[in-house]
Amino acid sequence: MTQEAVMVPIDTRELRHAFGRFATGVTVVTCRSEEGVPHGATVNAFTAVSLDPPLAQVTLTRTSRAARYLEGAPFAINILSLEQMLVALHFAGKVLEDEPEWALDGDVPVLLKNAATLECRPWNIYDGGDHIIVVGEVISMDITKRAPLLFFGGKFRHVGPLVEGAPWDHSGDAPESGWFAGAESFKPLNT
């Protein structure tokens, strides 16, 4: 005779703590409101999705204003540098006296002094429970030598020393590794 598994509800505080054990970078997603006003939201749920086509993903809580502005709109993923901790706090709701430094002359507002910046056009939005999953096609990027701002265990961090004994000098999924052959053009999966 088999026993049915009893589903124990997940404690959301403990789940948040478990999620916090994964170190992430810190980004600010920037876009414009319907009126053209620049807006941003601090997001640490950022993921590279695809090289071909070039896709990146951010996940925002449904209640954020930025989530409402992203439907069918271009946006930027500002990968924050170590010197931008106050910028991260500003766009997380601790509004500072001094406005963060912006470049406002393009279609998408972009923060200055980022570690990297990805400008995206809308690709798709997916249901993510109490969040939305926003995928954008990267149409331009800027990469600097600034150190990235990290987040781990509810605190901001910086990159530490290299781990000794790494078995290779490049990523295992880099095209030159031969681990897998990358697509030369996008081929959608058959559904």
Amino acid occupying residue 37: V
Q: What is the pTM of this model?
A: 0.83
What domains are there in the chain, each with its CATH number?
22-159+173-177 (2.30.110.10)
Are residues 118 and 132 in contact, defined by beta-carbon separation less than 8 angstroms? Answer: no
pLDDT attached to residue 79: 97
Are residues 75 and 31 in contact, defined by beta-carbon separation less than 8 angstroms? Answer: yes
pLDDT attached to residue 173: 60
One digit per residue, pLDDT tens: the chain, 191 residues? Answer: 456 677 888 888 888 888 878 889 999 999 999 899 999 999 989 999 999 999 999 999 888 888 889 989 999 999 999 999 999 999 999 988 888 999 988 889 999 999 999 999 999 999 999 999 999 999 999 999 999 999 999 899 999 888 787 666 666 566 665 555 555 555 565 55
